[in-house]
Amino acid sequence: MTHSAYPTVRLKPKAEARAIRHGFPWVYANELVTDRRTKALEPGSIAILEDSDRKAMGVVTVNTGSKIIARMLDRNPTATIDQNWFETRFERALAHRTALFDEPFYRLVHAEADGLPGVIVDRFGDVAVIQPNAAYADGMFDVLAAALEQVSGVSVIVKNGSGRARSLEGLDEELTVVKGSIDAPVPVPMNGATYMADILGGQKTGLFFDQRPNHAFVQRLCKDAKTLDVFSHVGGFSLAALAGGAKSALAVDSSAAALALAEQGAEASGVADRFATRKGDAFAMLEELAKEGEIFDVVVCDPPAFAPSKKALEAGLRAYERVARLAAALVKPGGYLTLCSCSHAADLTKFRNASARGIGRAGRRMQLVRTGFAGPDHPLLPHLAESGYLKSLTFRLDI
Protein backbone atom coordinates (compact mmCIF):
# COMPACT_ATOMS: atom_id res chain seq x y z
CA MET A 1 0.00 0.00 0.00
CA THR A 2 1.36 3.42 -0.94
CA HIS A 3 0.37 6.97 -0.11
CA SER A 4 -2.20 8.03 -2.71
CA ALA A 5 -1.76 11.77 -2.04
CA TYR A 6 1.84 11.81 -3.26
CA PRO A 7 3.05 11.46 -6.86
CA THR A 8 5.45 8.61 -7.69
CA VAL A 9 8.98 8.72 -9.07
CA ARG A 10 10.86 5.70 -10.32
CA LEU A 11 14.43 4.43 -10.32
CA LYS A 12 16.04 3.49 -13.63
CA PRO A 13 16.66 -0.27 -14.03
CA LYS A 14 20.43 0.09 -13.45
CA ALA A 15 20.15 2.34 -10.38
CA GLU A 16 21.56 1.15 -7.05
CA ALA A 17 18.24 0.02 -5.60
CA ARG A 18 20.02 -2.39 -3.25
CA ALA A 19 22.12 0.38 -1.67
CA ILE A 20 19.00 2.50 -1.13
CA ARG A 21 17.14 -0.47 0.36
CA HIS A 22 20.02 -1.04 2.76
CA GLY A 23 20.14 2.52 4.04
CA PHE A 24 21.86 4.79 1.49
CA PRO A 25 19.72 7.96 1.68
CA TRP A 26 20.29 9.63 -1.71
CA VAL A 27 19.24 9.09 -5.31
CA TYR A 28 21.48 10.82 -7.86
CA ALA A 29 20.10 12.61 -10.92
CA ASN A 30 21.30 9.90 -13.34
CA GLU A 31 19.50 7.15 -11.36
CA LEU A 32 15.94 8.49 -11.60
CA VAL A 33 13.55 8.39 -14.54
CA THR A 34 13.09 12.10 -15.33
CA ASP A 35 10.03 12.16 -17.57
CA ARG A 36 7.93 15.28 -18.10
CA ARG A 37 5.84 14.51 -14.99
CA THR A 38 8.90 14.23 -12.74
CA LYS A 39 10.52 17.34 -14.24
CA ALA A 40 7.33 19.29 -13.46
CA LEU A 41 7.61 18.57 -9.72
CA GLU A 42 8.38 21.68 -7.66
CA PRO A 43 11.77 21.55 -5.86
CA GLY A 44 11.17 19.99 -2.44
CA SER A 45 8.07 18.02 -3.51
CA ILE A 46 7.26 14.86 -1.57
CA ALA A 47 6.87 11.68 -3.63
CA ILE A 48 6.80 7.89 -3.40
CA LEU A 49 9.99 6.27 -4.69
CA GLU A 50 9.49 3.05 -6.65
CA ASP A 51 12.13 0.67 -7.91
CA SER A 52 12.24 -0.19 -11.64
CA ASP A 53 9.66 -2.97 -11.01
CA ARG A 54 7.26 -0.35 -9.57
CA LYS A 55 7.64 -1.66 -6.02
CA ALA A 56 7.36 1.17 -3.47
CA MET A 57 10.58 1.81 -1.51
CA GLY A 58 9.56 4.76 0.66
CA VAL A 59 8.74 8.45 0.77
CA VAL A 60 11.32 10.83 -0.72
CA THR A 61 11.73 14.52 -1.35
CA VAL A 62 12.54 15.47 -4.93
CA ASN A 63 14.57 18.37 -6.32
CA THR A 64 15.15 18.01 -10.08
CA GLY A 65 17.52 20.99 -10.01
CA SER A 66 19.98 19.19 -7.69
CA LYS A 67 22.56 16.45 -8.34
CA ILE A 68 20.96 14.68 -5.36
CA ILE A 69 17.59 14.45 -7.08
CA ALA A 70 15.83 12.54 -4.27
CA ARG A 71 16.47 12.08 -0.55
CA MET A 72 14.87 9.32 1.49
CA LEU A 73 12.60 10.69 4.22
CA ASP A 74 10.77 7.56 5.39
CA ARG A 75 11.09 3.93 4.35
CA ASN A 76 7.40 3.42 5.05
CA PRO A 77 5.65 4.25 1.75
CA THR A 78 2.43 5.15 3.64
CA ALA A 79 4.09 7.81 5.82
CA THR A 80 2.71 11.36 5.78
CA ILE A 81 5.31 14.12 6.05
CA ASP A 82 3.59 16.59 8.38
CA GLN A 83 4.20 18.26 11.76
CA ASN A 84 3.64 14.97 13.64
CA TRP A 85 6.26 13.30 11.46
CA PHE A 86 8.81 16.03 12.22
CA GLU A 87 7.96 15.89 15.94
CA THR A 88 8.70 12.15 16.04
CA ARG A 89 12.08 12.74 14.42
CA PHE A 90 12.91 15.58 16.84
CA GLU A 91 11.84 13.50 19.87
CA ARG A 92 14.20 10.72 18.81
CA ALA A 93 17.08 13.16 18.28
CA LEU A 94 16.42 14.92 21.60
CA ALA A 95 16.38 11.67 23.58
CA HIS A 96 19.93 10.90 22.40
CA ARG A 97 21.29 14.37 23.30
CA THR A 98 19.56 14.39 26.67
CA ALA A 99 21.32 11.11 27.47
CA LEU A 100 24.68 12.66 26.53
CA PHE A 101 24.63 16.15 28.04
CA ASP A 102 23.58 17.75 31.31
CA GLU A 103 22.88 21.11 29.69
CA PRO A 104 21.05 21.84 26.41
CA PHE A 105 24.06 23.00 24.37
CA TYR A 106 24.67 20.63 21.45
CA ARG A 107 23.89 19.71 17.88
CA LEU A 108 20.29 18.56 18.14
CA VAL A 109 19.86 17.34 14.55
CA HIS A 110 22.67 16.14 12.29
CA ALA A 111 20.89 15.87 8.95
CA GLU A 112 20.68 12.42 7.30
CA ALA A 113 22.12 10.64 10.35
CA ASP A 114 19.12 11.83 12.41
CA GLY A 115 16.62 10.99 9.68
CA LEU A 116 16.15 14.61 8.58
CA PRO A 117 18.06 14.97 5.31
CA GLY A 118 19.69 18.35 4.80
CA VAL A 119 18.55 19.70 8.18
CA ILE A 120 21.00 20.91 10.83
CA VAL A 121 19.78 22.15 14.22
CA ASP A 122 22.21 23.52 16.79
CA ARG A 123 20.87 24.27 20.25
CA PHE A 124 22.19 26.99 22.54
CA GLY A 125 20.05 26.66 25.68
CA ASP A 126 16.82 28.44 24.87
CA VAL A 127 17.93 29.29 21.31
CA ALA A 128 17.78 26.92 18.33
CA VAL A 129 19.42 27.63 14.98
CA ILE A 130 17.99 25.71 12.03
CA GLN A 131 19.88 25.30 8.76
CA PRO A 132 17.41 24.04 6.14
CA ASN A 133 19.88 22.93 3.47
CA ALA A 134 17.40 20.93 1.35
CA ALA A 135 14.50 22.32 -0.68
CA TYR A 136 11.76 20.41 1.21
CA ALA A 137 13.03 21.70 4.58
CA ASP A 138 13.03 25.24 3.22
CA GLY A 139 9.53 24.88 1.78
CA MET A 140 8.16 23.25 4.94
CA PHE A 141 10.14 25.48 7.29
CA ASP A 142 7.11 26.73 9.28
CA VAL A 143 5.95 23.17 9.98
CA LEU A 144 9.50 22.10 10.89
CA ALA A 145 9.98 25.07 13.23
CA ALA A 146 6.60 24.48 14.92
CA ALA A 147 7.55 20.82 15.51
CA LEU A 148 10.91 21.83 16.97
CA GLU A 149 9.30 24.34 19.32
CA GLN A 150 6.74 21.76 20.44
CA VAL A 151 9.36 19.10 21.23
CA SER A 152 12.25 21.18 22.62
CA GLY A 153 10.44 24.13 24.23
CA VAL A 154 12.99 26.64 22.91
CA SER A 155 11.78 30.24 22.92
CA VAL A 156 14.06 31.61 20.16
CA ILE A 157 14.33 30.07 16.69
CA VAL A 158 16.74 31.35 14.04
CA LYS A 159 16.66 30.33 10.38
CA ASN A 160 20.22 30.29 9.04
CA GLY A 161 19.95 29.85 5.30
CA SER A 162 23.56 30.24 4.26
CA GLY A 163 26.35 28.11 2.88
CA ARG A 164 27.42 25.96 -0.03
CA ALA A 165 24.87 23.17 0.52
CA ARG A 166 21.97 25.58 -0.07
CA SER A 167 23.39 26.95 -3.30
CA LEU A 168 23.71 23.36 -4.60
CA GLU A 169 19.96 22.99 -3.93
CA GLY A 170 19.17 26.27 -5.73
CA LEU A 171 18.13 28.01 -2.49
CA ASP A 172 18.64 31.68 -1.58
CA GLU A 173 20.76 33.01 1.30
CA GLU A 174 18.66 34.09 4.26
CA LEU A 175 19.20 34.77 7.98
CA THR A 176 16.14 35.54 10.10
CA VAL A 177 14.95 35.31 13.67
CA VAL A 178 11.61 33.55 13.17
CA LYS A 179 10.59 33.34 16.83
CA GLY A 180 11.53 35.42 19.88
CA SER A 181 14.42 37.85 19.75
CA ILE A 182 18.17 37.80 20.17
CA ASP A 183 20.47 40.81 20.43
CA ALA A 184 23.76 39.61 21.93
CA PRO A 185 26.14 36.65 21.73
CA VAL A 186 24.92 33.63 23.69
CA PRO A 187 27.27 32.28 26.43
CA VAL A 188 27.87 28.55 25.92
CA PRO A 189 29.43 26.40 28.68
CA MET A 190 31.70 23.67 27.33
CA ASN A 191 34.58 21.74 28.93
CA GLY A 192 34.74 24.17 31.87
CA ALA A 193 35.10 27.24 29.63
CA THR A 194 32.48 29.76 28.49
CA TYR A 195 32.29 30.47 24.76
CA MET A 196 30.46 33.34 23.08
CA ALA A 197 28.30 32.23 20.14
CA ASP A 198 27.41 34.99 17.71
CA ILE A 199 24.24 33.41 16.38
CA LEU A 200 23.47 36.13 13.83
CA GLY A 201 26.93 37.23 12.71
CA GLY A 202 29.28 34.30 13.19
CA GLN A 203 30.34 31.36 11.02
CA LYS A 204 27.73 28.66 10.35
CA THR A 205 25.43 28.61 13.43
CA GLY A 206 27.82 30.67 15.58
CA LEU A 207 29.83 27.95 17.32
CA PHE A 208 31.26 24.55 16.49
CA PHE A 209 30.03 21.85 18.88
CA ASP A 210 31.71 19.09 16.84
CA GLN A 211 35.16 19.67 18.37
CA ARG A 212 34.02 19.24 21.99
CA PRO A 213 35.70 15.83 22.64
CA ASN A 214 38.88 17.01 20.86
CA HIS A 215 38.96 20.19 22.97
CA ALA A 216 38.61 17.96 26.06
CA PHE A 217 41.53 15.74 25.02
CA VAL A 218 43.86 18.66 24.24
CA GLN A 219 42.81 20.25 27.54
CA ARG A 220 44.36 17.28 29.39
CA LEU A 221 47.73 17.94 27.71
CA CYS A 222 47.71 21.63 28.60
CA LYS A 223 48.30 21.70 32.37
CA ASP A 224 50.95 24.42 32.89
CA ALA A 225 51.52 24.49 29.11
CA LYS A 226 52.28 27.39 26.81
CA THR A 227 49.62 26.87 24.13
CA LEU A 228 49.10 28.12 20.56
CA ASP A 229 45.64 27.91 18.90
CA VAL A 230 45.79 28.71 15.15
CA PHE A 231 42.59 29.28 13.14
CA SER A 232 41.11 29.74 16.59
CA HIS A 233 37.68 31.12 15.60
CA VAL A 234 36.06 32.09 18.95
CA GLY A 235 38.83 30.43 21.00
CA GLY A 236 37.78 26.77 20.73
CA PHE A 237 40.99 25.05 21.80
CA SER A 238 42.64 27.99 23.62
CA LEU A 239 39.80 28.62 26.08
CA ALA A 240 39.53 24.87 26.78
CA ALA A 241 43.31 24.79 27.37
CA LEU A 242 43.12 27.69 29.84
CA ALA A 243 40.17 26.10 31.65
CA GLY A 244 42.41 23.02 32.01
CA GLY A 245 45.21 24.99 33.64
CA ALA A 246 47.36 26.14 30.71
CA LYS A 247 50.03 28.69 31.65
CA SER A 248 49.14 30.83 28.62
CA ALA A 249 47.25 30.61 25.32
CA LEU A 250 47.69 32.60 22.13
CA ALA A 251 44.76 32.55 19.68
CA VAL A 252 45.46 33.36 16.02
CA ASP A 253 42.70 34.09 13.49
CA SER A 254 42.12 36.31 10.46
CA SER A 255 38.75 37.51 11.81
CA ALA A 256 38.78 40.43 14.24
CA ALA A 257 35.14 39.67 15.13
CA ALA A 258 35.96 36.04 16.06
CA LEU A 259 38.92 37.15 18.20
CA ALA A 260 36.77 39.76 19.97
CA LEU A 261 34.32 36.97 20.89
CA ALA A 262 37.26 34.82 22.05
CA GLU A 263 38.35 37.69 24.33
CA GLN A 264 34.80 37.99 25.72
CA GLY A 265 34.84 34.22 26.32
CA ALA A 266 38.18 34.45 28.15
CA GLU A 267 36.72 37.22 30.30
CA ALA A 268 33.58 35.18 31.06
CA SER A 269 35.74 32.11 31.83
CA GLY A 270 37.93 34.11 34.24
CA VAL A 271 41.14 33.38 32.26
CA ALA A 272 41.67 36.71 30.45
CA ASP A 273 44.98 37.34 32.23
CA ARG A 274 46.54 34.27 30.55
CA PHE A 275 44.98 34.83 27.12
CA ALA A 276 46.31 36.78 24.12
CA THR A 277 45.23 37.11 20.48
CA ARG A 278 46.88 37.91 17.15
CA LYS A 279 44.94 38.82 14.03
CA GLY A 280 46.33 37.84 10.65
CA ASP A 281 46.75 35.19 7.98
CA ALA A 282 47.50 31.90 9.74
CA PHE A 283 50.34 30.86 7.40
CA ALA A 284 52.04 34.25 7.74
CA MET A 285 51.58 34.17 11.53
CA LEU A 286 53.13 30.70 11.82
CA GLU A 287 56.16 31.92 9.87
CA GLU A 288 56.35 35.09 11.97
CA LEU A 289 56.25 33.19 15.28
CA ALA A 290 59.08 30.94 14.03
CA LYS A 291 61.17 34.02 13.12
CA GLU A 292 60.53 35.38 16.61
CA GLY A 293 61.92 32.12 18.02
CA GLU A 294 58.66 31.23 19.78
CA ILE A 295 58.28 27.64 21.02
CA PHE A 296 55.12 26.12 22.53
CA ASP A 297 54.30 23.03 24.59
CA VAL A 298 51.05 22.46 22.69
CA VAL A 299 50.11 23.75 19.21
CA VAL A 300 46.67 23.26 17.61
CA CYS A 301 45.67 24.07 14.02
CA ASP A 302 41.97 23.81 13.15
CA PRO A 303 41.65 25.36 9.67
CA PRO A 304 38.50 25.79 7.57
CA ALA A 305 37.82 23.11 4.93
CA PHE A 306 40.77 23.27 2.54
CA ALA A 307 39.20 20.49 0.44
CA PRO A 308 35.44 21.13 0.39
CA SER A 309 35.03 19.10 -2.82
CA LYS A 310 36.86 16.40 -4.81
CA LYS A 311 38.06 19.08 -7.26
CA ALA A 312 39.79 20.94 -4.43
CA LEU A 313 41.37 17.79 -2.95
CA GLU A 314 44.97 18.03 -4.24
CA ALA A 315 45.34 21.74 -3.40
CA GLY A 316 43.68 21.07 -0.04
CA LEU A 317 46.11 18.28 0.87
CA ARG A 318 49.06 20.55 -0.02
CA ALA A 319 47.62 23.20 2.31
CA TYR A 320 47.24 20.66 5.17
CA GLU A 321 50.84 19.55 4.61
CA ARG A 322 52.04 23.16 4.74
CA VAL A 323 50.14 23.83 7.98
CA ALA A 324 51.71 20.72 9.53
CA ARG A 325 55.23 21.75 8.40
CA LEU A 326 54.96 25.32 9.71
CA ALA A 327 53.26 24.32 12.97
CA ALA A 328 55.70 21.50 13.74
CA ALA A 329 58.55 24.04 13.79
CA LEU A 330 56.90 25.74 16.79
CA VAL A 331 56.52 22.66 19.03
CA LYS A 332 59.12 21.93 21.70
CA PRO A 333 60.70 18.45 21.79
CA GLY A 334 58.25 16.16 23.59
CA GLY A 335 55.44 18.65 22.96
CA TYR A 336 52.13 18.02 21.22
CA LEU A 337 50.72 19.07 17.85
CA THR A 338 47.02 18.66 17.06
CA LEU A 339 45.94 19.04 13.44
CA CYS A 340 42.29 19.06 12.34
CA SER A 341 40.42 18.77 9.06
CA CYS A 342 36.72 19.32 8.41
CA SER A 343 37.02 18.44 4.68
CA HIS A 344 34.95 15.36 3.87
CA ALA A 345 36.75 15.10 0.49
CA ALA A 346 40.04 14.47 2.34
CA ASP A 347 39.48 11.13 4.06
CA LEU A 348 41.32 10.17 7.22
CA THR A 349 44.17 8.32 5.45
CA LYS A 350 44.87 11.16 3.01
CA PHE A 351 44.73 13.77 5.77
CA ARG A 352 46.98 11.71 8.09
CA ASN A 353 49.52 11.18 5.28
CA ALA A 354 49.58 14.89 4.39
CA SER A 355 50.03 15.82 8.06
CA ALA A 356 52.82 13.28 8.60
CA ARG A 357 54.58 14.47 5.42
CA GLY A 358 54.47 18.06 6.66
CA ILE A 359 55.86 17.15 10.09
CA GLY A 360 58.60 15.05 8.45
CA ARG A 361 59.50 17.94 6.13
CA ALA A 362 59.94 20.14 9.20
CA GLY A 363 62.65 17.65 10.24
CA ARG A 364 60.67 16.31 13.20
CA ARG A 365 60.07 12.74 14.35
CA MET A 366 56.57 11.94 15.52
CA GLN A 367 54.25 9.48 17.15
CA LEU A 368 50.51 9.66 16.56
CA VAL A 369 48.90 9.48 20.01
CA ARG A 370 45.23 10.05 19.22
CA THR A 371 42.79 10.16 16.32
CA GLY A 372 39.60 12.06 17.12
CA PHE A 373 36.31 12.72 15.36
CA ALA A 374 33.18 14.79 15.91
CA GLY A 375 31.30 14.27 19.17
CA PRO A 376 28.39 11.84 19.59
CA ASP A 377 25.87 14.65 19.01
CA HIS A 378 27.14 14.49 15.40
CA PRO A 379 26.20 10.87 14.67
CA LEU A 380 27.43 9.17 11.51
CA LEU A 381 25.35 7.49 8.87
CA PRO A 382 27.75 4.66 8.00
CA HIS A 383 26.44 4.51 4.40
CA LEU A 384 27.24 8.19 3.87
CA ALA A 385 30.93 9.12 4.03
CA GLU A 386 30.02 12.83 3.92
CA SER A 387 28.52 12.63 7.42
CA GLY A 388 31.98 11.86 8.91
CA TYR A 389 33.80 15.01 7.90
CA LEU A 390 35.81 15.94 11.04
CA LYS A 391 39.21 14.43 11.80
CA SER A 392 41.61 15.43 14.58
CA LEU A 393 45.14 14.04 14.89
CA THR A 394 47.36 14.59 17.92
CA PHE A 395 51.09 13.94 17.46
CA ARG A 396 53.88 13.97 20.03
CA LEU A 397 57.08 15.24 18.48
CA ASP A 398 60.72 14.09 18.80
CA ILE A 399 60.14 11.21 21.18
Q: What is the pLDDT of residue 202?
A: 63
Record the pTM: 0.94
Domain locations in the chain as residue ranges:
8-74, 83-179, 187-397
List of long-range contacts for 289-292, beta carbons under 8 Å, 24+ apart:
289/228, 289/330, 290/326, 290/329, 290/330
Per-residue model confidence (pLDDT) at position 223: 97
- State the pLDDT at residue 14: 83
∠ CA 261-266-270, nearest 5°, is 145
Q: pLDDT value at position 367?
A: 98
Position 302: which residue type? D
Instruction: Give the contacts of 33 (CB within 8 A, at least 6 positions apart).
Output: 9, 10, 11, 12
Say yes or no: domain 187-397 is CATH 3.40.50.150: yes
- In eight-state DSSP terms, residue 245 is T
Quote the CATH superfamily of domain 8-74: PUA domain (2.30.130.10)
Does the active-site annotation cover 342?
Answer: yes
264-304 pLDDT, tens digit each? 999 999 999 999 999 999 999 999 999 999 999 999 999 99
Q: According to the CATH classification, is domain 83-179 in 3.40.50.720?
A: no
The torsion defined by the Cα of 77, 115, 345 and 190, in degrees rounded to 10, comes to 180
The list of the chain residues with pLDDT below 50 reads 1
Of residues 82, 112, 44, 21, the one with CA closest to residue 378: 112
Amino acid letter, 343: S
Per-residue pLDDT, 152: 98
Is the distance from CB of 295 to CB of 248 less than 8 angstroms?
Answer: no
